[in-house]
Amino acid sequence: MAAATDALKKTALNAAHRALKAKMVDFGGWDMPVEYGGLIAEHMAVRTAVGLFDVSHMGEIRFSGPGALAAVQALTMNDASKLVDGQAHYSALLTPTGTFVDDILVHRIAPEDYLLVVNAGTKDKDFAWIKQHAGAQADVEIVDQSADYSQIAVQGPRAAETLAKLTHVDLAAIKNYWFTFGTVAGIQNVLIARTGYSGEDGFEIYTPGDEPTTVGVWNALLAAGEEFGIRPCGLGARNTLRLEAGMSLYGHEISEDINVFEAGLSRWLKLDKGSFIGRDALLAIQAQGGPKRKIVGLEMIERGIGRDTYPVFSLSEERVGTITSGSPAPFLKTNIALALIEAGVAASAEDVLVDVRGNRVRAKQVPIPFYKKPKK
């Protein structure tokens, strides 16, 4: 087992996680914490106070030069020409059929400088795809800078108060999906973005990737949030939080077999911006009346948990789809799921049956997201 663990990639916080007695798992080739002292406690800390996540396994790809914007535009579905310095948006790299290479965040640092943040398990594939389709462009330099960064997410209603103890940056001035650079815990030029994957307010901060710097910032954040009940949180809580918030996960609600319309992500799709990979296929789907399948939210009515990959049936016992993500919802105290089902069944909003290990358990269709953070 030691040899297998040694073969896994490790973030700069690996030793810190082990010192905190985290339960470690292989996550896409990375040795990552799945939980520290209990998934539910970690989930609830983020919903009610503040939680801290190591997301340093995520990838960072830099586009720079006169052709940076044109390259980003040709590769992604959202309209990066609308971004201004210090602004980010959700987007995706698409295949020619309008399905997903990956979902990403695009940050505009300057008119000729963009930072794309990609998923850990798809980083190498994403970089190869980007180089294949834009690497020959002479006026843009595309560099995988993942090793240069560690990324720590501070999430929850007390996230801003926690981070404010460690920086003079006016955090209130950073709007959702905006970012700035500043000093955090004595480390200069840290990228501070008001983004996250929990459905709560919070920040993702990008520090230099070396271990002493990263551990120093991590420990400073844990100390700063102690009075609010901060908890280090693992991948388990990250998944249940994003599910309650109705956020897509690559390999589940989005993949190379699911298109943008099916995934329900068309609000970030800008078909009128001009040519980009996947556009023609999506226009054709639109012209043909839309997708044949759709991601929907389910809440279990009867006793049972709809887990990932469980089959979904109509009330007349016909197979209509599959659970893409399912779990108990710790904050909502119910069992929820996202499912990819036939568009007609989705449009009817009728109840469905989930096959839970041979038992057909009734579920109702409900709006996504399941959870929305309270308005201040």
336-359 pLDDT per residue, tens: 999 999 999 999 999 999 999 999
**Residues paired with residue 9 on neighbouring β-strands, in sequence order:** 30
229-233 average pLDDT score = 98
Mean pLDDT of the chain: 96
Dump pLDDT digits (tens) for 307-326: 999 999 999 999 999 999 99
Looking at residue 375, its pLDDT comes to 81
DSSP 245-292: TT---BTTTBBTTBBHHHHT-GGG--GGG---TTHHHHHHHHHTTS-S
Question: CB neighbours of 65 closer than 8 A, spacing ≥ 6?
Answer: 112, 139, 140, 141
Give the pLDDT band (50/70/90) at residue 1: very low
What are 260's two structure tokens? Answer: 């943008």
Which pLDDT does position 5 carry in this prediction? 62
Mean pLDDT computed over 68-78: 98
For the stretch 253-286, pLDDT in tens is 999 999 999 999 999 999 999 999 999 999 999 9
Q: What is the mean pLDDT of residues 53-63?
A: 98
Per-residue pLDDT, 35: 98
CA separation (Å) from 142 to 60, 93, 206? 11, 15, 19
DSSP string, 180-236: EEEEETTEEEEEEES--SSSSSEEEEEEESSHHHHHHHHHHHHHHTGGGT-EEE-HH
Q: Is residue 311 packed enough to be buried (19+ CB in 10 Å), middle (13-18) or exposed (0-12)?
A: middle
Quick check: 54 pLDDT over 50?
yes
The one-letter amino acid code at 190 reads V
* C-alpha to C-alpha distances, 150 to 31, 145, 339, nearest whole angstrom: 15, 10, 33
**What was the pLDDT predicted at 135?**
79
Of 30, 99, 60, the closest CA to residue 278 belongs to 99
Q: Is the pLDDT of residue 3 over 60?
A: no
d(CA 64, CA 120): 22
Does a cis peptide bond (omega within 30 degrees of 0) precede residue 330? no
pTM for the structure as a whole: 0.96
How does residue 291 score in pLDDT terms, banded at 50, 70 and 90? very high
Residue indicated by tokens 């309650």: 244
How many residues does this entry show for the chain?
A: 376
In this predicted structure, the answer to whether residue 299 has a pLDDT above a threshold of 50 is yes
